[in-house]
Structure 1
Amino acid sequence: MKATPAAQQRLLDLAAADAELSRLAHRRRTLPEHAELAEAEAQVRAGKDKLVETETAAGDLDRDIRRIERDVEGVRARTEKDRSLLAGSGIGAKQATDLQHELDTLARRQGVLEDEQLEIMEQREALGMGLDHARRVLAEAEQRQTEVTERRDTAIADLDAAEAGRRRDRDAIVPGLPEDLLAAYQRRVDQGKVGAGLLRERRCGACRLELDRTFVGRLRTAEKDDVVHCEECGAILVRTSESGR
């Protein structure tokens, strides 16, 4: 394959643009904000789960408190009724005894209910502090998620702008290249390899390896418009004044 030295040197500009695009793509994949955001999202999910769990427990205790309040009110109403009957006239001794026995039972029942109510209210008070804490933790996790998302989005926007610039550079270079030279270069790029590199003295700019003296000797006798390839990696070797004699 033949190509003018100028066209071959333009491959170095193309390779530089492609190398920068590869670096930008790698940076996009490995942005630290990706891991930070995943961690922040996990903390938000955990915070929401904890808040739901705590709210559910608080709701259960609230229902228990209301149930006991209804039971206590029922006991008090029955107590008042029995006391009114006991204080009234026209009741016999047996009925009075039965009423007094029921009043004693109601008093014990009310005491048990009030003790249970006090215990549950203490649990609810403690859970209320836990609920406040869960809400605080969730709010902080959501705030961190927002901050990390904003930093991630800013970093990606910067990368988008940089990539757009490099693609414009690449698009400006490509039209000036011979089709067969560009195709040879592009085949390597499509395989995930470096397409071209500068031959500087005995070292290939694509694979960074020092080349055999015999091979370099043959290159020195090649015509300037001969398209040559590295014997180590196969990249197009571009010869310039930096390539040595």
Structure 2
Amino acid sequence: MKADPSLQHRLLDLQEADTREAQIAHRLATLPERAALDAITADLTALDAAIARARADAEGIGQELSAAEGEVEAVRTRAARNRARLDAGQGSAKDLQALTQDLESLAQRQHDLEEVELEVMERAEQAEAGLAEFEGARGPLVARQDGALAATGTATAQLEDERSQVAARRAGIAAEIPAALLALYEKIRATSGSGAAALRQRRCEGCHLELGASDLDRVARAAEDDVLRCEECRRILVRVNESGL
């Protein structure tokens, strides 16, 4: 294959654009800003789960407390009613004795229930304090997430803008290159990641290997418009002023 030397040199410009596009794609896929955002989002998800559990615990203990308070109140009401009957002297001596015994039993029952109520109240306070702590941590974490989201958006937009510019530059370069030469370049690039490399100081910049004496002789004797290939990596080998021939 033959091609004007200046157009062969344009392959290096095309390769430079392709390399930069690949770098931008890698950068977009591995943005540290996105990694930071993902980490914060994971922390926020875990915190929301903890808040949901803490709220459910607090609600459950609140129901326990309501039930305990209801039992204490029921005993107090019954004791007050019996105390009123006893103070009024209503009923026979046997009835009054039974009321006295019942009051004693109710007093013990009330004491036991109030102990339970106190324990539940303490657990309720702890649960509410834990819930408040979790909820208090959410605001700053959301603010961090917003900041990370903005940073990710800015970095992404800048890279996408550069990628558009590189793509436009590449399209202009590709339009200058003969179809057959461009097709060869694209075929090589599809398998090796790059389609052309400069021969600089007797070294292929694609595989970074120095050409042997016979290969250098072959390149030196080739016509200027001959399209050469590196014998090692098979990339299109573009001769430049610093080729060292």
TM range (shorter): over 0.9
Task: List aligned pairs for 1:68-83, cutoff 5 A.
Answer: 68-83=68-83
Could you state the TM-score of these two structures normalised by the residue count of structure 1? 0.95
The answer on whether the counterparts of 1:202 and 1:213 sit within 8 Å (CA) in structure 2 is no
- Report the counterpart of residue 84 of structure 1 in structure 2: 84
Q: Indicate the SS of the match to 1:199.
A: strand
CA distance in 2, matches of 1:78, 1:244: 110
CA distance in 2, matches of 1:73, 1:160: 69
Q: CA deviation at 1:141?
A: 2.8
Q: CA deviation at 1:89?
A: 4.1
- Report the counterpart of residue 176 of structure 1 in structure 2: 176
Task: List aligned pairs for 1:1-245, cutoff 5 A.
Answer: 1-245=1-245
CA distance in 2, matches of 1:64, 1:233: 76
Q: Indicate the SS of the match to 1:232.
A: coil
CA distance in 2, matches of 1:230, 1:88: 117
Give unmatched runs, 5+ long, in structure 2: none
Give unmatched runs, 5+ long, in structure 1: none
CA distance in 2, matches of 1:55, 1:175: 64
- Taking only aligned residues, the RMSD between alpha carbons, in angstroms, comes to 1.4
Could you state the TM-score of these two structures normalised by the residue count of structure 2? 0.95
4+ runs deviating over 4 angstroms: none
Q: Counterpart amino acid of 1:42?
A: A
Q: Indicate the SS of the match to 2:238.
A: strand
User: Mean alpha-carbon deviation: is it higher for 140-149 or for 73-82?
Assistant: 140-149
User: Mean alpha-carbon deviation: is it higher for 34-43 or for 21-30?
Assistant: 34-43
Q: CA deviation at 1:136?
A: 2.1
Q: Counterpart amino acid of 1:33?
A: E
Deviations 1:143-179 (A, max 9, x none): 3222222212211111101111100110111111100
User: Mean alpha-carbon deviation: is it higher for 233-242 or for 131-140?
Assistant: 131-140
Q: How many residues are aligned here?
A: 245
Q: Counterpart amino acid of 1:30?
A: T
Q: Indicate the SS of the match to 1:68.
A: helix
CA distance in 2, matches of 1:45, 1:192: 42
CA distance in 2, matches of 1:215, 1:49: 67
Q: 1:192 to 1:155 in 2, by over 3 A?
A: farther
The answer on whether the counterparts of 2:54 and 2:130 sit within 8 Å (CA) in structure 1 is yes
Q: Counterpart amino acid of 2:163?
A: E
The answer on whether the counterparts of 1:47 and 1:141 sit within 8 Å (CA) in structure 2 is no
The answer on whether the counterparts of 1:24 and 1:163 sit within 8 Å (CA) in structure 2 is yes
Q: Counterpart amino acid of 2:157?
A: A
The answer on whether the counterparts of 2:203 and 2:209 sit within 8 Å (CA) in structure 1 is yes
CA distance in 2, matches of 1:121, 1:134: 20
Q: Counterpart amino acid of 1:34?
A: R
